[in-house]
Amino acid sequence: MRNFKKEAIYFFGFVVAALLLSASINSCTKDNTVLYAVNDTADYLENLRNYKKSNHQIMAGYFRTWRDKATDPATNKTSMKELPDSLDIAFVFPDYTPPTNVFWDSLKTSYVPHLRARGTKVVMTADIGATLDKSFPNTPAGYEALATKIISEKITAYNLDGIDFDVERSLNTEDLQRATGVFTALSKSLGPKSGTGKLLIYDTNQEGNTPLFTVVHALVDYVLVQSYGRSVSGLQNTFNSYAGKILPNQYLIGFSFYEENGANWGDVTSPLANSRAYKYSNWNPTQGKKAGVFSYAIDRDGVPYGQNQIVPTNYPVTRQLISLVNP
């Protein structure tokens, strides 16, 4: 990734600001009876893609599929197409969304092209259990076959940019062998060793010394640690458990927006500077600058704590945090 000179950064910021203002005033496109503020001019999109390629702290967000307007237009008020243009990675977090739901067609034909034109990567999230399918033999041939199935069903089917495995459990000896074998098979098509540009991501609430991560760490692009509710003072110790296996610029820490009847794991309050999300964004390990920050339930950005109804959002916190880590 190339570095912009300071003058180029200032100019880029001016151009994007001007184009965003122009887009909000002059350019709206109707999609499924909802107006989206859209700027599809060539210069604007090229500037965005160049920004995504630059050396910067990335912002990522897990979007819950069951809260997309395409999934339930009578209830939901936002969609993946309305995510901020400067978001680097949009995670498709699937649940309560049957294969026949119109969301999946919208993802492939509308959301992915829109986001990719802006340089945003779209990545499917899957539980680590997807690598433990016992209908496939616990052999190298079985690992290859299961990896092919995972890529076909979770990436190729929607023309996505990679996969993210959620690891929140301990694995017994057999499961560890299976998961390691499937990760190794996947790494031929995904991740830093593949040369394809497709992402292989590891997200977890665990430390970096677990048996699975110890053997697959060289196969992944990024590690996302679910730091929900953790004290900022403890973030360094957690990273220390990963140091030596990955670089700081492969490491993201994350908070969760307030879910319906859930906990306020990001402490996203007003002013934002008082929030855990803000403090996470400012934090870096002593070993170097982190890759960035991510949020869970980004579709709830802007919803006040204690408010359970589904409301429209302009992703105000996400936009502020992007500006914070990339002033």
Query: Which residues are marked as active site?
Result: 168
d(CA 88, CA 99): 26
What is the C-alpha to C-alpha distance for residues 31 and 205, in angstroms, rounded to an integer?
A: 37
Three-state SS sequence of 93-140: ECCCCCCCCHHHHHHHHHHHHHHHHCCCEEEEEEEHHHHHCCCCCCCH
Helices (H), the chain: 6-26, 42-53, 102-106, 112-117, 140-154, 173-186, 211-216, 235-240, 276-282, 316-325
Per DSSP, what are the bridge partners of residue 224? 203, 252
Tokens 């990545």 map to which residue?
123
What's the sign of the alpha-carbon dihedral 10, 11, 16, 22? Answer: positive
Q: How far apart are CA 37 and CA 166, in angstroms?
A: 33
User: In residues, how long is the chain?
Assistant: 327
Whole-number Å distance between alpha carbons of 162 and 202: 11
Q: How many CA atoms lie within 13 A of 311 on its CB side?
A: 16
Q: Is 295 exposed, middle or buried (0-12, 13-18, 19+ CB in 10 A)?
A: buried
Q: Are 88 and 57 in contact (CB under 8 A)?
A: no
User: Please, what is the end-to-end C-alpha distance for the chain in angstroms?
Assistant: 18
* DSSP letter, residue 82: G
